[in-house]
């Protein structure tokens, strides 16, 4: 009987959407909020009072998605695969942002390039969000949450600084893993810079585990698409559970640079908790190098200065 009570207590202690705090008066920007985890997170945040901005590539789809949400929303165009679109979005912004959620992403695509000539997964998942975050950072008041993935562990992946576009040896899997590793390194260096500048803004990363979304449907390999479709049907958690790490990172008081994921076996499913990352994703020297290269590639630089006492 005692063991049963203990197990029940553990289950009751697990964090879920019912524990979201009230967010009235706060603005949250969610990239890729028109479907999947982004839409689920946007809906949950709006339901507890946040004003949620859908930053989406397709305005028509974004408006249709926002219409399904109970709460305050607006829709603005943002194409992360086009740096001019990122700049236009930021140029049109003048209001405080309490939470920026870098959620949008592409996964395991056939070889493609962004409008600016970057490999599509690295260009969209990392460089687009890198530029967006730095351009919006003067308006951010609380935190930045960037979506990574367990894919950062695939095959001892590293950042291919000599060939970031993977012109030699491109595979959809390798490109996706590199982009997700970049998301974690970006979060690490962003937090270092925020701390050094005296900012109270915090940088977090999150991953959804194995969540059934439409992201996997764009995989280049038809066998991989079929396998993931079966996995989505029989093994994956739904997008509501997949959104919990994002919501946890967006609302809970956590140490800077925290990484949130599911607490289950292999971090594939479960309640949100702090999780670990690979050594490659924890290397501050690599994180700084990636930041410098990203500034050079995007033309977007760190917007915050150190306090006078630290100069």
Integer Cα distance of 136 and 129 in angstroms: 10
197, with CB counted inside 10 A (0-12, 13-18, 19+), is middle
HSE (side-chain half, CA atoms, 13 Å) at 138: 11
Largest Cα–Cα distance in the chain? 63
Contact 38, 250 (CB under 8 A): no
Contact at 8 Å (CB) between 92 and 141?
A: no
At 103, which helix (H) or strand (E)? none
Of the residues 139, 176, 210, 259, only one is catalytic, namely: 176
What angle do the packed helices 129-136 and 83-91 form, to 10 degrees?
Answer: 20
Pairing of strands 51-56, 259-262: unpaired
Catalytic annotation present for 210: no
Q: Could you list the active site residues? A: 176
């Amino acid at each position: 009987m005692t063991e049963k009570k203990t197990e029940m207590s553990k289950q009751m202690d697990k964090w879920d959407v019912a524990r979201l705090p009230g967010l009235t008066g706060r603005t949250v920007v969610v990239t890729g909020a028109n479907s999947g985890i982004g839409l689920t997170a946007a809906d949950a945040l709006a339901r507890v009072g946040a004003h949620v901005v859908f930053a989406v590539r397709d305005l028509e789809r974004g408006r249709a998605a926002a219409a399904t949400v109970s709460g305050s929303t607006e829709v603005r165009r943002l194409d992360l695969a086009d740096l001019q679109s990122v700049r236009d979005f930021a140029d049109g912004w003048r209001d405080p942002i309490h939470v920026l959620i870098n959620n949008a992403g592409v996964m395991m695509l056939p070889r493609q390039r962004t409008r600016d000539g970057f490999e599509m997964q690295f260009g969209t998942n990392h460089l687009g969000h890198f530029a967006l975050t730095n351009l919006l950072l003067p308006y951010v008041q609380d935190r930045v949450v960037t979506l990574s993935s367990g894919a950062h562990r695939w095959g001892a992946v590293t950042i291919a600084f000599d060939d970031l576009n993977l012109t030699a040896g491109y595979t959809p899997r390798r490109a996706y893993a590199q982009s997700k590793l970049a998301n974690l390194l970006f979060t690490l260096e962003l937090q270092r810079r925020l701390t050094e500048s005296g900012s109270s803004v915090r940088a977090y990363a999150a991953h959804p585990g194995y969540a059934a979304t439409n992201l996997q449907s764009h995989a280049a390999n038809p066998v991989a698409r079929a396998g993931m479709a079966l996995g989505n049907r029989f093994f994956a958690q739904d997008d509501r559970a997949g959104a919990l790490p994002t919501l946890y990172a967006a609302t809970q008081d956590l140490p800077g640079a925290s990484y949130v994921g599911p607490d289950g076996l292999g971090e594939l499913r479960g309640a949100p908790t702090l999780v670990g990352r690979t050594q490659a994703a924890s290397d501050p020297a690599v994180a700084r190098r990636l930041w410098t290269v990203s500034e050079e590639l995007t033309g977007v630089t760190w917007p915050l200065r150190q306090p006078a006492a630290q100069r």
